[in-house]
Amino acid sequence: MAEYKGVMTYCEIAEGSLPSISREVAGFGRKLADDLGEELCAVLVGSDVGNLAQDAIGLGADTVYVVDDPLLKEYQTDAYLSVMEKVVRKMMPRILILGQTSVGRDLAPMLAFRLDTTATLDCVGLAIDPGTKLLLQTKPVFGGNAQATFTSDFCPQIVTVRDKLMPPPEPDASKQGEVITLDAGLDPAAIRASLLKRVTENEGGVRLEDASIIVSGGRGIGSAEGFDQLQELAALLKGAVGASRPACDNRWLAPNRQVGITGKIVNPDLYIAIALSGSIQHLSGCAQSKSIIAINKDPEAPIFNYADFGVVGDWKKVLPAFRDKLKELLPG
Amino acid sequence: MRIIVCIKQVPDPQASSSGTKVDPEAMRVIVPQGTPPVMSPYDENALEAAIRIKDAHGARVTVISAGRNLAKPVLRKSLASGADELVLLEDAAFEKLDSYATAHLLVAAIREIGEYDLILCGRQAADTDAGQVGSGIAEILKIPCITAASKVELSDGKVLVERVVSDGFEVIEAPMPALVTASSEIGDLRYPKLKDLQAAQKMPITVRGAQALGIDAAGLKRVNLVRLAEPPRRKTECRIIGGETPEEAGANLALKVKEAKLL
Ligand SMILES: Cc1cc2nc3c(=O)[nH]c(=O)nc-3n(C[C@H](O)[C@H](O)[C@H](O)COP(=O)(O)OP(=O)(O)OC[C@H]3O[C@@H](n4cnc5c(N)ncnc54)[C@H](O)[C@@H]3O)c2cc1C
């Protein structure tokens, strides 16, 4: 174990820049590296991504490893897995942190098993145990009904962190660091599963994860047409529409509208929860909203234990009146 | 065509969504009394995907479940739903295994079965929420892995999968054998007919213990649980807004929202 050293972050890239989650991961990485008194390095994997190395340094990395190859233009499990396996075997970080994103969820466990160890996904707390120097990996279990803290004696200790846990660090443009380019050396035989196409489902408007107001509906909405009414309210408030899992499973909305532990983590200023019961798995994804309003016909629905304001009633009657009154009250 | 589906037994997550407590001393989660054991929901989605492939192309579907004190009537529901064979890995040593040990244990059983074209698992279990066993099995067996599938089909001897990603979905093709982890968009497990449920209770099943498998599962653990705590809860006092009619309550809510400057 002695030969493993330092903290490594996997810097996910989205649309040619470092998304918020990568900056948050950098913040966690810097803190842990400082606590260990060791270096922080960042890994950038993609095509034409070298220009982002300085950004990663500004966010705290001492060293940035860039793996640049046209074959890495889009995330593909086998290619990225093979690259990350090489980078980790070569650099031997004590800790590797990824974001709990579609990529992190896919890549982290496979990489861990390839390196003959295991990972902890969806961490909400990371700290160094002052005695053992091991990484304390805290994650919700039982849908969020409990929080477990794990350690592992095997290196690298691999984790993904949930997004929106803390604000990303302010970039420091004057920070110095080293940029090292590594060869992807991809063996075509290593790529078994192939990506045939990627389809973006964005109904326009504000992205759920960026919205400051979210109007979310559940099973009780009952149909795609029902969600049109939520869409209308969201448009009025310049917010986004979200949903519980059953609403997405029924295809009343696209799956990427799902809020919760297996959907998206959101923290808007206002979360309006309509005809959803407030299961722990759903609340884990939205309980950090500044304010929550609930409309539900069942006075015993758990969502009322988390809401600031609530109306007990049929949403089909409550919502239109709520919307019309808001229209009256809102400027413009 | 041979399909293996790995299914975990968990306390019903719907019945234990609220009222679940933590015993920090014993580092144990205590689900409300009377919470029934069920097949973990995403594993049910995996089974549904397997049975659909069986319906379309013909296949032999084997379900494997590992644990301690397994509720056989619950797991036999897989047979009633259309699985052909149920293999239980049951041993006192198979309790509280981590993802690493569980994946190795399941691989030991899969290797005993020997032949497989497709392995299906749920994307994450409803109790540990770990999300790793499927990926682990694939890596140990050195077969391709596609996670979070919303659709699984066969085409020209390959598996064709749609998988959910944050801004939409991807279509992925892989040669078999392959492993796919299922997401809920696949659809709920079909409801078995009463007569199939009754017949399933009488079907023979295979039970294997640690010794028979020649595996020291507990010795394979890679992580230690060092603390279990109640989660921080959002503290609120919900103010219920009323009115003579639901419409009036809705309008009053708008007034309140404005007054509290939530917008
Ligand atoms: C491992 C795992 C992961 C999961 N991940 C997620 C996740 O990420 N996100 C998620 O949302 N779920 C997730 N779930 C599912 C979760 O457990 C719940 O099943 C789900 O959130 C319930 O959705 P719901 O509240 O819409 O439905 P229900 O619980 O059925 O609630 C419907 C509500 O609508 C109300 N209602 C019905 N009609 C009306 C009406 N006319 N007017 C007013 N109110 C009405 C009812 O009173 C009820 O409270 C997960 C489950 C598991 C096991």
Judged by CB atoms closer than 8 Å, whether chains meet at B253 and A311 is answered as yes
> With contacts defined as CB-CB under 8 Å, which chain B residues touch A295?
250, 253
Say if residue B121 is in the same domain as residue B241.
no
* Interface mutation target, options B247, B255, B256, chain A, most CBs of A under 10 Å: B247
Identify the DSSP state of A14: B
Say if residue B255 is in the same domain as residue B178: no
pLDDT at A204 over 80: no
Q: Percent of chain A scored above 90 by pLDDT?
A: 95
Distance CA A320, CA A331 (A): 19
Averaged over A116-124, what is the pLDDT? Answer: 97
Q: Does one domain contain both B64 and B187? A: yes
User: Which CA distances in Å does B209 have to B38, B101, B107?
Assistant: 21, 15, 14
Residues of A in contact with B236 (CB under 8 A): 292, 305-308
Both B193 and B216 in a single domain? yes
Please provide the average confidence, as pLDDT, over all residues in chain A.
Answer: 96
In a domain, B9, yes or no: yes
Helix ranges (DSSP H) in A92-132? 102-114
Bridge partners, B2 (sequence order): B60
Do B167 and B256 belong together in one domain? Answer: no
Q: Is residue B200 part of a domain?
A: yes
Q: Check if A216 has its Cβ closer than 6 Å to any atom of ligand 1.
A: no
pLDDT for res B236: 86
For residue range A275-315, what is the model confidence (pLDDT) as tens digits? Answer: 999 999 999 999 999 999 999 999 999 999 999 999 999 99
For residue A203, how far is its CA from the centre of ligand 1 (angstroms)? 23
Q: What is the DSSP string of A257-305?
A: GBBSTTSB----SEEEEES----HHHHTTTTTSSEEEEEES-TT-GGGG
In this prediction, residue A1 carries a pLDDT of 45
Residue A315 CB less than 6 A away from ligand 1:
yes
pLDDT of residue A13: 97
Residues B244 and B205 in one domain: no
Domain that holds residue B259: 234-263
Residue type, B126: A
On whether both B78 and B175 belong to a single domain, the answer is yes
Residues B213 and B249 in one domain: no
Q: Which helix (H) or strand (E) holds A59?
A: none
Positions in chain B short of pLDDT 70: none
Among A281, A311, A314, A319, which is best to mutate for testing ligand 1, by the most ligand atoms less than 8 A from CB? Answer: A281
Structure token digits, residue A275: 């005809």
- The percent of residues above 70 in pLDDT, for chain A, comes to 99
Choose which CATH entry (3.30.565.10, 3.40.50.300, 3.40.50.620, 3.30.70.20) describes domain A7-190. Answer: 3.40.50.620
Query: What Rg value do the Cα atoms of chain A yield, rounded?
Result: 22
| Residue of chain B with shortest Cα separation from A197 | B171
pTM, two decimals, is 0.97
Residue A217 Cβ contacting ligand 1 at under 6 Å: no
Evaluate: CB of A301 within 6 angstroms of ligand 1. yes
- List CB contacts of A295: < 8 A, sequence separation 6 or more: A272, A273, A274, A275, A310, A311, A313, A315, A318, A319, A322, B250, B253
Kindly report the CATH number that applies to the domain delimited by A208-329: 3.40.50.1220
Residue bearing the CA closest to ligand 1, atom 4 = A281
Min Cα–Cα distance to chain B from A236, Å: 11
Residues B19, B92 within the same domain = yes
| Contact at CB, B262 and A270, closer than 8 angstroms | yes
Q: Which residues of B touch A292 (CB under 8 A)?
A: 234, 236
User: Residue ranges per domain, chain A?
Assistant: 7-190, 208-329
Q: In the 8-state DSSP scheme, what is residue B16?
A: T
> What mean pLDDT comes out for the span A108-133?
97
How big is the CA angle at A57 (ends A54 and A60), to the nearest 5 degrees?
155
**B155 and B251 assigned to the same domain:** no
> What is the Cα–Cα distance from B144 to B173, expressed in whole angstroms?
10
Q: CA of B52 to nearest chain A CA: how many angstroms apart?
A: 17
Give residue-wise pLDDT tens across range B226-255: 999 999 988 889 999 999 999 999 999 999
Domains of chain B: total? 2
Do residues A206 and A179 make contact, with C-beta atoms less than 8 angstroms apart? no
3-state secondary structure of A153: coil
Q: How confident is the model at residue A106 (pLDDT cuts 50, 70, 90)?
A: very high
